Structure 1
Amino acid sequence: MKMERILCIWFGAGLLRPAPGTWGSAVAVALGLLIHRIGHFPLLAIATAAVTALGFWAVVRHTAGMADPDRREIVIDEVAGQWLALCFPSVGFWLMGLPADSFPYPGWVAAFLFFRLFDIWKPWLVGRADRRGDAAGVMLDDLWAGLFAGLATMAAAALSHGLLM
């Protein structure tokens, strides 16, 4: 199996059924929490940048010549978007001085749920990127969903802690 396919299906997560995108996101959360625990926000940010770059490379190569590059088994885009969403609470915990082994559950649960919401709903820029119909759009829609999910997670945290009242 070619490396770009292995990356696109994220080592098999994209082959899980039903809902491979949700499985890819769930695997991404588990790995993201592990990365956060090992190296806190800086390592998660580096990993997010690396998987994003790898994703653009792998999706372009893997889908070359395909009529529809947005295939269900491709989940590296979910990994990149989900890690981007996780970066928001991760940086907050890092800036607060929390230890790396602390990533309170509301933060990662909210990032997961908001990411899935935006990835499925595809509002505004998420939908625009999805409609591109090219390999870059495969990655971009999930990165926009990750950005919106990260912002929504932080807004929810601010509301829950009374900062926006």
Structure 2
Amino acid sequence: MQKIFLTFFYSGCTPKASGTFGTIAALIPAFFILKYLGSSTLILLSLLIFLISIRIIDDYEKTTGIHDDKHIVIDEVAGVFLACAIAANTSNSLLNFIMAFIFFRLFDITKPSIIGKIDKKVKGGLGVMLDDMIAGLFAGLLSAVIYGILIKFNLLFWDKKLIDLF
């Protein structure tokens, strides 16, 4: 049960790019939560996953002796949920959803500024989860800012509300 949770239904068990596959898998429930339940629900779910995962990861690391195993992607799930929810507060649209995903992966892979410091200095489950939550926060905010700029300067040529899809 622990492995199913930490690998987000085994989406993190790919030999390469497990974080990207885990993030893509997380976009499926994120899309439907945003479409039917709204961004508040997605933020709360992100925070709940964050809090629950810290202890589960601590137990996993104690058992295996491996810190931040590459197959653990529940941190990406919580982070991209946060990014998508923040971006959706500007506009619950397909463009914001895509930008949140792209910026989250960019920040999660490159680990700029405080994200990298947290990744290196904070140990255990908190360290595994916190860098992705900060990456999600920055990704969501950057998506919202860019979307606002596109609207302000009338540069938004296409967009579709998530509620209008399907």
Place the TM-score, normalised by the shorter chain, in its bin: 0.7 to 0.9
Contact 2:87–2:141 (CA<8 Å) still a contact in 1?
no
Deviating above 4 A after TM superposition, structure 1's stretches of 4 or more consecutive aligned residues are none
Partners of 2:64 and 2:114 lie apart in 1 by 24
Aligned to 1:82: 80
Aligned to 2:145: 155
Q: Does 1:20 find its partner at 2:21?
A: no
Contact 1:77–1:142 (CA<8 Å) still a contact in 2?
yes
Partners of 1:65 and 1:131 lie apart in 2 by 21
Q: Does 1:106 find its partner at 2:104?
A: no
Unaligned runs of 5+ in 2: 154-166
Q: Does 1:121 find its partner at 2:119?
A: no
Partners of 2:19 and 2:96 lie apart in 1 by 20
What is the aligned-residue RMSD (CA, Å)?
2.0
- Aligned match for 1:11, one of 9, 27, 35: 9
**Aligned residues: percent identity?**
32
Count of residues in Structure 1 that have an aligned counterpart in Structure 2: 154
Contact 1:84–1:150 (CA<8 Å) still a contact in 2?
yes
Correspondences of 1:8-87 after superposition (within 5 Å): 8-87=6-85
Shift of 1:91: 2.1
Q: Which moved more, 1:45-54 or 1:106-115?
A: 45-54
Q: Deviations over 1:142-162 (max 9, x none)?
A: 011111101110111112112
Unaligned runs of 5+ in 1: 94-102
Q: How high is the TM-score relative to the length of structure 2? A: 0.85
SS of the aligned residue for 2:67 comes to: coil
Q: Does 1:130 find its partner at 2:119?
A: yes
Q: Which moved more, 1:136-145 or 1:154-163?
A: 154-163
Partners of 1:117 and 1:138 lie apart in 2 by 17
Partners of 1:138 and 1:53 lie apart in 2 by 12
Aligned to 2:164: none
- Aligned match for 2:89, one of 91, 94, 97: 91
Q: How high is the TM-score relative to the length of structure 1? A: 0.85
Q: Which moved more, 1:80-89 or 1:33-42?
A: 33-42
